[in-house]
Amino acid sequence: MNRSVLFVGAFPRPATLERYVSGDLALRLQKLGWRVRVTSQSPSRLGRLGSILWQTWRARKDCSIACVDLYSGPAFVWAEAACTLLRWLRKPFVLTLHGGSLPEFASQHRNRVKKLLCSAAAVTCPSPYLLASIRDLRPDLILLPNGLELARYPFRERRPPFRRLVWLRAFHEIYNPVLAVVALSKLRQAIDIRLTMIGPDKKDGSLQRTQGTAARLGVAQAVDFRGAVSKQDVPNELGQGDIFLNTTNFDNTPVSVLEAMACGLPVVSTNVAGIPFLVEDGQTGLLTPPEDAEAIVGAVTRLEQEPGLAAKLGRNARAKVELFDWGMVLPRWEELLSGLAGGARVKGETNLDPVTERHSHNACNAGTES
């Protein structure tokens, strides 16, 4: 069997490959003896599309299977173009769904998304949220969660008093970093607490707005803007925190939240998209409405005042994310890819077992809605 795979997605710099879920999977498969290619590392959208098509063509003889990341927006076009070429080359491919905004995109472009999903040898998704939201377009979706190397995340129970909030995302408007600073300003009226904000600047002005809001509200000295950190440093950064804030407006199954849960940090998160599928309010974290700084203040105050709550949330969260350990996730990926690489054929012939093929065929050809 030809154990070679091409990963198609957005991998801007080779040094940060491990920051991406599929990139981490690629590195782990390499260690198991798979030959791996990755595209694209181009920083520009047009360059990325060209690189993806060129590298896919170049890999036509070497790679037996491809794994294609599927997001909404411009990234959907890259995946669509790559899959068109892969079908022409008669190469089986696996689509992996990403992003909290993908269900909305799919509802707006239903026929287009359904056609792409049904052309894949298999479709995986990392969360029950995406599974539930997209299943009507292809019912045989495979739930494969984002993997974590749990041994790298030391667990520690948190107990009050709490003095450091941690926020770990990219500075982009969809993650609403300004809300974290607004909540901090309200919290500091009652308790001496600081905020560490970690993440790269996505150049949409969010970082500058967050810094400006901190200055305007008089809490600039209480906010530590750390910038991007390496994946290896994330456990240490989280380990220094007391409470993890997730202020996003859209989300799926964010790795940063999984990492915080692994470390035992009580999570306070907005209740949006896929978050409630990951964080159960009052059991593995506390959920608040989006854009509600007062609700965040109430959640943090509750952690301060309710004995044992933070420790309970941390223990439950750690137990939940043990299901995400690479020791459990990686064998399932290898089984899937080995099976497809060993005998899968592209859609139009037969690329699934007979039962699944009939099920998928009926779903993908029963007519589409406009």
> In this predicted model, what pLDDT tens digit does every residue of 151-194 receive, in sequence order?
999 999 999 999 999 999 999 999 999 999 999 999 999 999 99
Q: Would you say 300 and 243 are in contact if contact means Cβ atoms under 8 Å apart?
A: yes
Average pLDDT over residues 75-90: 94
201: pLDDT strictly greater than 90: yes
**What mean pLDDT comes out for the span 311-321?**
97
Which of 216 and 16 is assigned the larger pLDDT? 216
Range of the domain at 31: 4-147+326-365
Same domain, 216 and 254: yes
**Which residue do the tokens 């790795």 mark?**
255
* 180 lies in the same domain as 314: yes
Same-domain check for residues 343 and 298: no
- Whether residues 179 and 300 share a domain: the answer is yes
Residue 278: closest CA among 323, 236, 331? 323
pLDDT confidence of 44, banded at 50, 70, 90? Answer: confident
pLDDT range class, residue 116, cuts 50, 70, 90: very high
Same domain, 231 and 349: no
Is 171 in the same domain as 313? Answer: yes
270 assigned to some structural domain: yes
Read off the CATH number of the domain in which 253 is found. Answer: 3.40.50.2000
Confidence of residue 287 (pLDDT cuts 50, 70, 90): very high
State yes or no: pLDDT of 360 exceeds 50.
Answer: no
Domain assignment present for residue 275? The answer is yes
Give domain status of residue 370, yes or no: no
- Same domain membership, residue 310 and residue 162: yes
| Residues 22 and 119 reside in one and the same domain | yes
Judge whether 123 lies within some domain.
Answer: yes
Q: What value does the mean pLDDT take over residues 304-309?
A: 95
Side-chain-side CA neighbours of residue 239 (13 Å): 10
| Burial class for 338, CB neighbours closer than 10 Å (0-12, 13-18, 19+) | middle
pLDDT of 259 > 60? The answer is: yes
Residue 368 has pLDDT above 60, yes or no: no
pLDDT for 248 equals 95
Residues in the chain: 370
What's the predicted TM-score (pTM) here? 0.84
